[in-house]
Amino acid sequence: MINIQGIDHLVLRAVNVERMLDFYCNALGCAVERRQDEIGLIQLRAGSSLIDLVPVDGKLGKAGGAAPGSDAKNLDHLCLRVEPFDEQSLRDHLLRHCIEVGPVESRYGAQGEGPSIYLTDPDGNVVELKGPAQSVDVSSQPTASVGH
């Protein structure tokens, strides 16, 4: 049996590495953990996970096909768990980085239902910032019936 603990890493193909580094490091608070420029790989620390950036014009990037864009998405979205989730603080911070943010909505994630917002990185990848699961009274939830 495989016991998944969370996202280990994901790889994003990057058209403009400097803009992507500015977005993920300066706006979202990731840190460059390791670079392997000879193969075109930059690994960013995102909590207990990694976000790998692969320049499309590097050795690894060239092997991945068309660059990300309106006709070649390489990911639907990635979700980063954030805590605390203070909507106004998040909006103020992202606005200082000229990043537009969608409305806060309650969405289900790995740890349950909780607040989240969507934004878009410089290469058009959608990023969800998700807060902690909110307590739910399970006695008020409908129960699922098992049958044929």
pLDDT of residue 27: 96
Q: Count CB neighbours of 1 within 10 A.
A: 2
- What token pair was written down for 106? 């309650």
Q: Which helix (H) or strand (E) holds 78?
A: strand 77-81
- What token pair was written down for 76? 């639907």
Query: What would the pLDDT profile of 29-39 be if each residue is shown by its tens digit?
Result: 999 999 999 98
pLDDT of residue 88: 93
pLDDT at 142 over 70: no
> pTM here?
0.69
